[in-house]
């Protein structure tokens, strides 16, 4: 991690380095319940004289999030705590607190997907930034060998299993998702992008997914499922939760929620779309 600066004066926007430290402060406080200068010293290799002003700078920016406890000799989480510089997710906490440390008691499952090639991703990101067209060789099931395409990319997407680039495809005259691992070669740029993200209707259109426990489960089992998925009691007396998703990412969301096909048993299915949601999404699911 980059070296820390000695904090900012009140009302001064935090520097990039301090924002990185603020992320760590929030994540450690949120998941461990307490933050001290030791966490910053260990993460950044800095002295206590440097770490203390950083924590004070965070307190100036977010005074409602932490309070000092003399007994524990550290800053404790308050009931009003709300992440401002971090996502507040367990994934980010493990990455910041224990980068590459095998002793941490969490085991990320190995993904079988091929990691994106930096030599492929770099020109795509550059083309996105410059709104340019790219000439690529792409292997698909319909064209496993002869797959030259000209695309206008606008966003890199992770669907939970693989990385894609969302782009306008001149061959198909449509916006498509191109799996990064199937892009075999990038031949070069072809001038300004033919279409941009603002013209991608599937990308900009939002849909609402509303889930509830599988009706075949017992009442006790439905309550467990509701806890797993953060559902709340709806007006109809059922546990439900709604998600906002982009139309272009609907199929990936349904796959991640195991809603892409019905399972024979309620215990295997666990959740289902509400009848109203099924009707609303029917025209968007092939």
pLDDT number for residue 48: 87
Run of H or E including 23: helix 16-32
Q: Is the pTM of this model over 0.85?
A: no
Length of the chain: 286
Q: List Cβ neighbours of 109 (8 Å cut-off, separation of 6 or more).
A: none
- CA atoms in the 13 A half-sphere facing the CB of 268: 5
pLDDT tens track for 147-159: 889 999 999 998 8
* Residues 188 and 251 sit within 8 Å (Cβ to Cβ): no
Degrees to nearest 5, angle at CA 155 with 150 and 158: 115
Which is nearest to 251 in space by CA: 242, 240, 263, 261? 261
- pLDDT of res. 183: 92
Q: What is the per-residue pLDDT for 41?
A: 85
Given a cut of 50, the residues of the chain with pLDDT beneath it are: 7-10
The pair of structure tokens assigned to 144 is 């496993």
pLDDT at 100: 54
> Are 45 and 92 a contacting pair, CB within 8 Å?
no
Cα–Cα distance measured from residue 167 to residue 26, given in angstroms and rounded to the nearest whole number: 36
Torsion over CA: 81, 82, 84, 86 (sign) = positive
> In this structure, what token pair is assigned to residue 62?
């977010």
For the chain, the helix, strand and coil percentages under 3-state DSSP, each to the nearest 5: 35, 25, 40
**Per-residue H/E/C for 220-259:** HHHHHHHHHCCCEECCCCCEEEEEEEEHHHHHHHHHHCCC
Nearest to 134 by CA among 89, 93, 88, 194: 194
Cβ proximity of 117 and 165 under 8 Å: no
Residue with the two structure tokens 């224990």 = 98
Q: Which domains does the chain have, with CATH numbers?
A: 16-97 (1.10.10.10), 118-200 (2.30.30), 205-284 (3.30.70)
What's the rounded Cα separation, in Å, for the pair 64 and 182? 48
The answer to whether the beta carbons of residues 25 and 14 sit under 8 Å apart is no
Q: List alpha helices for 70-134, DSSP H.
A: 90-97, 118-130
| pLDDT value for 7 | 47
Angstrom distance (rounded) from CA 165 to CA 159: 10
């Amino acid at each position: 991690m980059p070296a820390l600066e000695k904090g900012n004066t009140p009302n001064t926007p935090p520097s990039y380095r301090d924002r990185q430290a603020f992320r760590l402060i929030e994540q450690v406080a949120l998941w461990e319940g307490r933050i001290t200068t030791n966490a910053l010293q260990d993460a950044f290799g800095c002295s206590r004289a440097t770490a203390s002003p950083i924590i004070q700078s965070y307190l100036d920016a977010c005074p409602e999030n932490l309070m000092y406890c003399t007994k524990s000799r550290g800053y404790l989480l308050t009931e009003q705590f709300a992440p401002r510089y971090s996502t507040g997710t367990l994934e980010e906490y493990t990455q910041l607190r224990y980068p590459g440390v095998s002793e941490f008691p969490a085991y990320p499952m190995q993904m079988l997907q091929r990691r994106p090639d930096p030599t492929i991703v770099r020109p795509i990101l550059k083309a996105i930034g410059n709104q340019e067209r790219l000439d690529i060789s792409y292997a698909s099931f319909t064209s496993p060998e002869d797959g030259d395409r000209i695309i206008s990319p606008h966003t890199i997407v992770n669907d939970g299993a693989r990385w894609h680039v969302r782009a306008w495809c001149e061959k198909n005259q449509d916006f498509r998702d191109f799996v990064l691992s199937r892009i075999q070669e990038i031949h070069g740029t072809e001038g300004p992008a033919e279409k941009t993200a603002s013209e991608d209707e599937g990308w900009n259109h939002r849909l609402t997914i509303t889930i509830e426990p599988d009706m075949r489960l017992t009442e006790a089992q439905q309550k467990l499922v509701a806890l797993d998925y953060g559902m709340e009691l709806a007006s109809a007396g059922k546990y439900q939760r709604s998600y906002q998703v982009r139309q272009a990412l609907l199929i990936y969301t349904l796959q991640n929620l195991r809603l892409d096909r019905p399972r024979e048993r309620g215990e295997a299915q666990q959740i289902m779309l509400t009848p109203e949601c099924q009707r609303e999404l029917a025209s968007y699911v092939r």
